[in-house]
């Protein structure tokens, strides 16, 4: 029984200034951006997982089909004894490999993994800023409280908009970099085919 009480006490939130603060312009702005980046993080995470699922499925399917086609070399016995079965399997393998390549190309071009990671990092930075601000305004002297909170609000808002500005610049760099990498990769692949 005493152990249960100790576990409950160790799980309690003993941090300072966790109470709900209303009407604080810095906290309202920070929390608005936290919600915005949580939504973006979730959106890109779903898309990223979709592309990953397609990639894993098509890669596994391609390996399975290739093992059927090369069964005489791998297993010593030809699994695909009929000619039409071998032809159909070869066509399915080609379609699977093209799907894998197109999926990779689109995933690389759209940059969903980078976008998910960038938005996750931004949300975490905003949560740290939120926590720092809450701790800074916790239990200040009543005489200078108004002026101190104004200064802390200005500092928090300045850091918030600096983070937002850096994130937008990184987003732009990632978008341009993804397009360049996807096009360069395709160009090099086509160039390799011509040789």
pLDDT at 114: 85
Long-range Cβ contact pairs of 171-179 (< 8 A, separation 24 or more): 171/115, 171/118, 174/111, 174/114, 174/115, 174/118, 175/111, 178/108, 178/109, 178/110, 178/111, 178/114, 179/109
In a domain, 188, yes or no: no
Domain count, the chain: 1
Q: Is residue 3 part of a domain?
A: no
**Domain annotation covers residue 7:** no
Q: 129: domain range?
A: 24-183
pLDDT at position 19: 60
The whole-number pLDDT of residue 24 equals 80
Query: Rounded to an integer, what distance in angstroms lies between the CA atom of residue 149 and that of residue 173?
Result: 36
pLDDT for 135: 82
Is residue 6 one of the residues assigned to a domain? no
Domain contains 193: no
Q: Residues 6 or more apart from 191 whose CB is under 8 A from it?
A: none
pLDDT of 14 reads 58
| Alpha carbons 84 and 81: distance in angstroms, whole number | 9
How far is CA 107 from each of CA 126, 146, 179, rounded to the nearest angstrom? 27, 50, 11
Query: Does residue 168 form part of some domain?
Result: yes
Q: pLDDT tens, position by position, for the chain (195 residues)?
A: 455 555 555 566 555 555 666 678 888 899 999 999 999 999 999 999 999 999 999 999 999 998 888 877 777 777 777 778 888 888 999 999 999 988 888 887 888 888 888 999 999 999 999 988 888 877 665 545 667 778 888 888 899 999 999 989 988 888 888 777 777 766 776 677 666
Domain assignment present for residue 31? The answer is yes
Whole-angstrom Cα distance, residue 79 to residue 100?
A: 25
Per-residue pLDDT, 6? 54
> Cα–Cα distance between 40 and 55 in angstroms, integer?
23
In a domain, residue 131? The reply is yes
């Amino acid at each position: 029984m005493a152990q249960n009480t100790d576990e409950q006490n160790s799980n309690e939130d003993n941090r300072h200034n966790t109470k709900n603060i209303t009407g604080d312009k810095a906290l309202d702005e920070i929390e608005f951006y936290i919600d915005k980046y949580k939504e973006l993080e979730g959106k890109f995470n779903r898309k990223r997982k979709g592309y990953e699922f397609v990639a894993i499925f098509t890669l596994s399917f391609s390996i399975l089909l290739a093992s059927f086609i090369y069964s005489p070399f791998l297993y010593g016995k030809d699994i695909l004894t009929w000619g039409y079965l071998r032809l159909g399997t070869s066509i399915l393998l080609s379609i699977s490999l093209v799907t894998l390549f197109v999926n990779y190309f689109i995933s690389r071009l759209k940059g969903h993994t980078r976008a998910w990671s960038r938005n996750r990092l931004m949300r975490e930075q905003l949560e740290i800023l939120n926590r720092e601000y809450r701790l800074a305004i916790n239990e200040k002297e009543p005489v200078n409280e108004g002026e101190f909170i104004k200064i802390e609000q200005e500092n928090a808002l300045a850091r918030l908009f600096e983070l937002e500005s850096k994130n937008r610049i990184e987003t732009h760099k990632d978008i341009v970099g993804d397009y360049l990498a996807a096009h360069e990769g395709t160009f090099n692949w086509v160039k390799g085919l011509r040789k």
